[in-house]
């Protein structure tokens, strides 16, 4: 993230975690006070809480990495190209692989939450829309699986991921950055399209349609964020900058 200091990075990450935790606490309160018993509703809530757990793990791992940078940044015995002892850096590279998998899984769990919610609230659908929901769900699952395998299969042997001399990661390649972005954006577009199609079959007032359309448009923010992240990562790759081992942030 640009020239943000390690201290600044830690502060930003934990601010976001606390921000997310606040909304999660409100959501949990609503679940307790007004429980929903359908399997689809339970799956939707479970996806959200699982995604937050992965975000918490990722933030903790990144905090450890930034703490290592702080600890060794003024140590004259440590080469500046490494920033920390070799053994520690190798361990951080291994954590990086786990972080990438946690990030991707967390993003797709949020998508799964929306799909499960659709199955819960859109119980009576036209066959065409129901088929689209099923196909979108299948595509979302398959795209997650492909993205999960990509960091594991791109570098052969896998040990190159934590090699210092021949460090390899899928996110340093054009395909490794483009494929996750394309699947992330296309799944979001499909997930946003389903309620729009359902709304067209309902008899709602114009003001209600505008309000719902505004809420759905908020989903565009995730697409914009994905595109901005893609632009940032590809620009860093083109300049040959390694930055933090944690490419998630």
Does residue 47 have a pLDDT over 70? Answer: yes
For the ranges 38-52, 148-162, 199-213, the maximum mean pLDDT occurs at: 148-162
Confirm whether 160 is domain-assigned. Answer: yes
Q: What is the pLDDT of residues 95-108, one digit of tens each?
A: 889 988 998 999 99
| Total of domains in the chain | 1
Return the exposure string of 204-216: e unless at least 16 CB atoms fall within 10 Å of the residue's CB, then b.
eeeeeeeeeeeee
pTM value? Answer: 0.80
Confirm whether 147 is domain-assigned. Answer: yes
Confirm whether 244 is domain-assigned. Answer: no
Instruction: Using pLDDT thresholds of 50, 70 and 90, give the confidence band for residue 210.
Output: low
Q: What is the pLDDT of residues 169-181, one digit of tens each?
A: 887 788 888 899 8
Confirm whether 246 is domain-assigned. Answer: no
Confirm whether 63 is domain-assigned. Answer: yes
Q: What is the pLDDT of residues 72-85, one digit of tens each?
A: 988 888 888 888 89
Average pLDDT over the chain, rounded to whole? 81
Confirm whether 249 is domain-assigned. Answer: no
Instruction: Output 112-116 pairs: Cβ under 8 A, ≥24 positions apart.
Output: 112/43, 112/44, 112/47, 112/140, 113/43, 113/44, 113/45, 113/47, 113/48, 113/51, 114/44, 114/191, 115/140, 115/191, 116/40, 116/41, 116/43, 116/44, 116/47
Confirm whether 247 is domain-assigned. Answer: no
pLDDT of the residue at 42: 82
Confirm whether 248 is domain-assigned. Answer: no
Query: Which position has the higher pLDDT, 188 or 41?
Result: 188
Does residue 212 have a pLDDT over 90? Answer: no
Domain that holds residue 158: 6-239
Write out the two tokens for 20. 């997310």
């Amino acid at each position: 993230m640009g020239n943000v200091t390690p201290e600044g990075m830690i502060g930003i990450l934990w601010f976001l975690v606390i921000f997310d935790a606040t909304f999660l606490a409100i959501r949990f309160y609503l679940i307790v006070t007004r429980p929903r018993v359908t399997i689809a509703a339970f799956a939707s809530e479970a996806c959200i809480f699982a995604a937050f757990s992965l975000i918490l793990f990722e933030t903790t791992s990144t905090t450890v990495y930034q703490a290592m940078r702080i600890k060794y940044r003024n140590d004259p015995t440590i080469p500046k190209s490494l920033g920390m002892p070799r053994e520690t850096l190798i361990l951080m590279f291994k954590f990086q692989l786990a972080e990438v998998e946690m990030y991707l899984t967390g993003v797709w769990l949020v998508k799964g939450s929306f799909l499960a919610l659709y199955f819960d609230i859109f119980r009576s659908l036209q066959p065409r829309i129901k088929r689209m929901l099923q196909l979108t769900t299948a595509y979302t699952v398959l795209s997650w699986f492909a993205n999960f395998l990509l960091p594991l299969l791109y570098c052969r042997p896998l040990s190159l991921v934590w090699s210092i001399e021949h460090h390899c990661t899928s996110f340093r390649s054009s395909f490794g950055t483009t494929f996750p972005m394309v699947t992330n954006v296309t799944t979001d577009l499909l997930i946003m399209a389903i309620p729009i199609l359902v709304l067209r079959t309902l008899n709602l007032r114009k003001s209600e349609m505008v309000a719902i359309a505004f809420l759905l448009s908020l989903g565009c923010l995730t697409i914009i964020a994905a595109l901005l992240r893609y632009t940032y990562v590809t620009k860093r790759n083109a300049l040959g900058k390694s930055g933090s081992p944690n490419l998630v942030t």
